Amino acid sequence: MKLTSKGRYAVMALVDLARFNNINPVSLRDISLRQGISLDYLEQIFSKLKKDQIVKSIRGTQGGYVLSKKPNEIKLTNIFHAVDEKVKTVKCKKDSKKGCNGKATKCVTHNLWDELENHINSFFDKKSLEDLLKSNNENRI
Amino acid sequence: MKLTSKGRYAVMALVDLARFNNINPVSLRDISLRQGISLDYLEQIFSKLKKDQIVKSIRGTQGGYVLSKKPNEIKLTNIFHAVDEKVKTVKCKKDSKKGCNGKATKCVTHNLWDELENHINSFFDKKSLEDLLKSNNENRI
DNA sequence: ACTATACTTGACCAATTTAGTCAGGTATGT
DNA sequence: ACATACCTGACTAAATTGGTCAAGTATAGT
Ligand code: FES
Ligand code: FES
């Protein structure tokens, strides 16, 4: 069970963006340099974030990205959903009645994994970008 | 973030084993047939479970595997540890002072991922094989 | 109008991981 | 002896990951 870079970078980048968001749009180039993430890769990530209306883009010189919502309205769930970082614990199709092994009934561990999935998602539902900003500021003072 | 088959199968197989454990050792062949898991793959998994003393093996005809401990003493944590299904959320090396990007300080999301890791592990620490047996029996009655 | 900046899009790829298979072997109860 | 079932290690096809590369388009400032 591991987190992929896409999800990790998306959150890193958004925290960075939120911190410098006050005055001007923030360019991916700056984020790339500050956070050590490949610019080309960031572009892929931000195109997804934009599609889910987490950020807005401003083109041209002095352009960049800004948050579409307030930091406390952006939950990790939203970010992960945007970049397709999904939590997948069950093997079977959730809606189907069939089990993961192709049998007619759900397997002996199905409920467990489902519980686990809920447990993890509840974490992502609670955490907002604002929470991250706060805890980060505390560390810096 | 997804669960691998190795971890999933290990738990499936142990639940199966625990249910038929009362009288005789259980052969991997039986588990393979009941749970629809490749026999060769099961053998790899059980060699790891044995190394961590979660199961004992009995060779020869009528041989098979038995649990080394009581079901309530076997936590998911133990199983996952045995089969190298590890929860990895941070990118950096945990003990090192350096961040994931090679910089001298931990990145802006490090604490978040660390929290997440604890959150997930607490789930695995709580759940025992006995819990799974119980909830499974309830479903069958 | 020109140019530098920075977003936009889509194709492409190397490395790693996963989820097994395959081919042998060894121990043991009957 | 022989069938059963554990044991071991090598191997591999397919998927995923974590990017890179190339060729745009829009806009602000000069
Ligand atoms: S995970 Fe859903 S049936 Fe096995
Ligand atoms: S994850 Fe630990 S420093 Fe980034």
Closest CA to B76 of B7, B136, B139, B18: B7
Please give the Cα distance from B109 to A4 (Å, whole number): 14
β-strand partners of A55: A67
- The answer on pLDDT for A105 being more than 70 is yes
Tell me if A58 sits within 8 A of A66, measured CB to CB. yes
- Indicate yes or no: CB of B8 within 8 angstroms of CB of A91: yes
Contacts of A95 (CB under 8 A, 6+ apart): none
Tens of pLDDT, residues B24-49: 999 999 999 999 999 999 999 999 99
**Nearest residue of chain B to residue A35 (CA atoms):** B101
Residue whose tokens read 């955490």? A127
pLDDT at B44: 97
Q: What percent of chain A has pLDDT over 70?
A: 98
pLDDT at B82: 97
pLDDT at A111: 95
pTM over 0.85: yes
Please give the Cα distance from A51 to B40 (Å, whole number): 45
Taking the CA of residue A106 as reference, the ligand 1 atom at the shortest distance is 3
pLDDT at A39: 97
pLDDT at B28: 98
Q: From the DSSP assignment, how many helices (H) and strands (E) are in chain A?
A: 6, 2
Element holding B32 (H helix, E strand): helix B28-35
Subset of residues 30-89 in chain B with CB less than 7 angstroms from any atom in strand D:
40, 43-44, 46-47, 50, 57-65
The C1' atom of C18 and the CA atom of B43 lie apart, in whole Å, by: 17
Q: pLDDT averaged over chain B?
A: 94
pLDDT at B108: 93
Please give the Cα distance from B128 to B126 (Å, whole number): 6
How many Å lie between the centroid of ligand 2 and the Cα of residue A115? 28
Assigned token pair, B97: 């002072």
- Indicate yes or no: CB of A108 within 8 angstroms of CB of B15: yes
**CATH topology for the B5-140 domain:** Arc Repressor Mutant, subunit A (1.10.10)
Residue among B1, B119, B139 whose CB faces A87 most closely? B1
Listed by start position, the domains of chain B span 5-140
Tens of pLDDT, residues B110-133: 999 999 999 999 999 999 999 999
pLDDT at A140: 63
| pLDDT interval class at A103 (50, 70, 90) | confident
pLDDT at B70: 96
Element holding B115 (H helix, E strand): helix B110-126
- The answer on pLDDT for A10 being more than 80 is yes
